[in-house]
């Protein structure tokens, strides 16, 4: 990921403190009748940014370009950022978005706990493997640690933690690892307090990839299974064993009630194991469908996260396919209500562009993701922008 100078060697802690640049124009004050105020976070200097995670204090992590004219996930101009509304003015002021650092190439932060620890990924160079990263955003100076340096010698000899996707309030991390002997990919749960590493069984598949975990003891995790000439499917790890959640395609978020947000049929989805048998059956899986007219020729949507008040956020297709793009909008839905009760977040706030993705929701009800100026809701050449929605 392309930082020119080496900030830290793999396995070492590093300091990160680069502050960057232009802020977006201040949007019009939101109507007091709307549920949320939208804060556009700006960028680290480039032309796009994405908010991936938020905690109950409104601290946000994500990634941004640092140079202009780059395309997200293509030019590899990703820089992990941390943002906080330091002065409480509900606007992103200069200096409030800061670069968290990298191992020398690009970096991305995915989640942040209430304790101020964030997890993500970075690389030493453009040819080496990705490495899971832990940042402490509140230490002075801020620190960055390769999670592999915290593994036991036996685990270091067997596994490389390649990405940290989520961290809970008990300092437990989930993500994906690669087995050094055969390059097999496995989801993991790693306890920062004890150093215990749990590898998640892919069942009949070749690989597993963990996306989220909750705060229970032991923590439950969700993710996806793939390979072995079988369709991808979601999984649920109950702290001891893995269950295949087919036909759920991905498990992406999970709360402390073991409610799962994910994807099915190209739509956002919800699942809860109401009968406790560990599989998807009956009416447990809810397809949240689309907003707008009939299904497009290429529907796409996902449930990205669900908090402990049972609010699920994600995105879905808003209309039929237009040209090469499927219009997308960010949504929220509360479990237990009809699927017709799902709401377009754009109608619940005043934003400077279309809110196309909602990627996380905190227990305090704050939502983060990205918006886009394209009339279709997504285009590679458009400038994606990170945001946070705060309840009014």
pLDDT of residue 373: 72
- Region 198-210: mean pLDDT is 96
H-state helical runs in 130-275: 153-158
Using only the alpha carbons of the chain, give its radius of gyration: 20
Contact 7, 105 (CB under 8 A): no
Per-residue pLDDT, averaged over 97-122, amounts to: 96
User: What pLDDT is recorded for position 99?
Assistant: 96
Q: Is the pLDDT of residue 15 over 80?
A: no
Residue 33 confidence class, pLDDT cut points 50, 70, 90? confident
Three-state DSSP at 339 gives helix
Both structure tokens of 232:
């991808």
Buried b (16+ CB within 10 A) or exposed e, 57-84: ebbbbbbbbbeeebebeeeebbbbbbbb
Percent of the chain predicted with pLDDT > 90: 73
Q: 77 CB contacts (<8 Å, ≥6 apart)?
A: 1, 2, 46, 65, 66, 67, 70, 106
Of residues 313 and 265, more confidence is placed in 313
- What does the pLDDT read at residue 380? 47
The answer, yes or no, to whether residue 13 has pLDDT greater than 60, is no
Query: With bands split at pLDDT 50, 70 and 90, how would you rate the model's confidence at 328?
Result: confident
| pLDDT for residue 374 | 62
Tell me the HSE value of 55 on the side-chain side, using a 13 A CA sphere: 22
Contacts of 154 by beta carbon, 8 Å cutoff, 6+ apart: none
Say which range, 20-29, 115-124, 359-368, 375-384, has the weakest mean pLDDT: 20-29
> What confidence score (pLDDT) does residue 292 get?
67
Mean pLDDT, range 194-215, rounded to an integer? 97
- Look at residue 18 in the predicted model and tell me its pLDDT: 40
> Do 199 and 220 touch, CB atoms closer than 8 A?
no
Record the pTM. Answer: 0.89
Yes or no: say if 379 and 44 are a contact pair by the CB < 8 Å rule. Answer: no
Position 74 confidence tier, pLDDT thresholds 50, 70, 90: very low
Mean pLDDT, to the nearest integer, of 15-43?
65
List, in order, residues 6 or more apart from 242 with CB less than 8 Å away: 200, 201, 202, 203, 208, 235, 236
Least trusted range by pLDDT, from 252-266, 320-334, 340-354: 320-334
Distances 288 to 53, 261, 313 between C-alpha atoms, Å: 23, 10, 11
Mean pLDDT of 30-47: 86
Q: Which residues contact 39 (CB under 8 A, 6 or more apart)?
A: 85, 90, 91, 92, 387, 388, 389, 390
Predicted local distance difference test score (pLDDT) of residue 322: 62
* Summary mean pLDDT of the chain: 87
- From 314, 315, 307, 316, select the one nearest 366 (Cα to Cα): 307
Nearest to 318 by CA among 289, 286, 359, 349: 289
Q: Per-residue pLDDT averaged across 287-315, rounded?
A: 84
CA distances 357 to 3, 88, 180, 206, 346, Å, are 27, 25, 35, 30, 11
Would you state the pLDDT for residue 321? 62
Q: Can you tell me the mean pLDDT for 296-305? A: 78
Residue 379 is predicted with a pLDDT of 46
User: Residue 284's pLDDT is what?
Assistant: 96
In this prediction, residues 21-48 reach a mean pLDDT of 75
Longest distance between any two alpha carbons in the chain, whole Å? 58
Nearest one of 252, 168, 175, 260 to 214, comparing CA atoms: 168
Q: Is the pLDDT of residue 294 over 90?
A: no
Q: Name the residue with higher pLDDT: 45 or 325.
A: 45
Band (27; pLDDT cuts 50, 70, 90): low
Distances (CA, A) of 65 to 47, 80, 106: 6, 9, 10
Q: Is 346 helix (H, G, I), strand (E, B) or coil?
A: helix
pLDDT band at 327 (very low <50, low <70, confident <90, very high): confident
Question: What is the distance between the alpha carbons of residues 156 and 139, in angstroms, rounded to a whole number?
Answer: 26
pLDDT of residue 73: 53
First vs last C-alpha separation in the chain: 37
Q: What is the pLDDT of residue 66?
A: 84
Domains of the chain, each with CATH number or no CATH:
13-391 (2.130.10.150)
CA dihedral 99, 102, 108, 110 (to 10 degrees): -90
- Distance, in Å, from the CA atom of 100 to the CA atom of 138, rounded to the nearest integer, reads 11
Do the Cβ atoms of 46 and 65 come closer than 8 Å? yes
DSSP string, 103-164: SSS-EEEEEE-TTSEEEEEEESSSSSPEEEEEEESSSSS-EEEEGGGGS-HHHHHHEEEEEE
- pLDDT for 121-176, tens place per residue? 999 988 889 999 999 999 999 999 999 999 999 999 999 999 999 999 999 999 99
**pLDDT band at residue 16 under the 50/70/90 scheme:** very low
């Amino acid at each position: 990921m392309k930082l020119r100078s080496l900030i830290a060697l793999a396995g070492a802690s590093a300091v990160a403190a680069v502050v960057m640049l232009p802020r977006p124009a201040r949007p019009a004050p939101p109507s007091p009748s709307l549920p949320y105020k939208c804060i556009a976070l700006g960028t680290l200097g480039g032309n796009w940014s994405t908010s991936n995670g938020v905690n109950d204090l409104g601290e946000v992590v994500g990634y941004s370009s640092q140079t202009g004219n780059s395309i997200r996930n293509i030019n590899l101009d990703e820089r992990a950022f941390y943002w906080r509304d330091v002065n409480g003015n509900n606007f992103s002021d200069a200096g409030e978005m800061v670069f968290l650092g990298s191992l020398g190439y690009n970096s991305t932060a995915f989640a942040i706990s209430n304790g101020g620890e964030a997890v993500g990924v970075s690389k030493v160079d453009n040819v080496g493997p990705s490495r899971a990263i832990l940042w402490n955003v509140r230490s002075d100076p801020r620190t960055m640690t390769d999670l592999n340096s915290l593994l036991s010698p036996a685990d270091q000899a067997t596994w490389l933690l390649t990405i940290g996707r989520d961290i809970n309030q008990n300092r437990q991390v989930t993500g994906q690892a690669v087995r050094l002997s055969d390059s097999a990919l496995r989801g993991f749960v790693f306890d920062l307090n004890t150093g215990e590493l749990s590898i998640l069984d892919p069942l009949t598949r070749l690989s597993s990839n963990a996306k989220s975990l909750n705060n229970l003891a032991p923590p439950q995790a969700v993710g996806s299974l793939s390979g072995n000439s079988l369709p991808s499917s979601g999984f649920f790890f109950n702290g001891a064993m893995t269950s295949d959640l087919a036909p759920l395609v991905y498990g992406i978020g999970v709360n402390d009630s073991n409610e799962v947000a994910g994807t099915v049929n190209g739509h956002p989805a919800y699942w809860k194991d109401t009968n406790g048998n560990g599989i998807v059956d009956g009416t447990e899986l809810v397809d949240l469908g689309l907003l707008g007219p009939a299904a497009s020729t290429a529907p796409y949507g996902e449930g990205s996260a669900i908090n402990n008040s049972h609010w699920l956020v994600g995105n879905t297709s808003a209309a039929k396919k237009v040209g090469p793009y499927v219009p997308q909008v960010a949504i929220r839905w509360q479990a237990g209500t009809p699927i017709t009760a799902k709401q377009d977040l754009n109608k619940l706030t005043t934003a400077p562009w279309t809110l196309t993705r909602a990627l996380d929701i905190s227990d305090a009800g704050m939502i983060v993701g990205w918006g886009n100026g394209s009339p279709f809701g997504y285009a590679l050449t458009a400038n994606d922008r990170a945001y946070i929605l705060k309840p009014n």
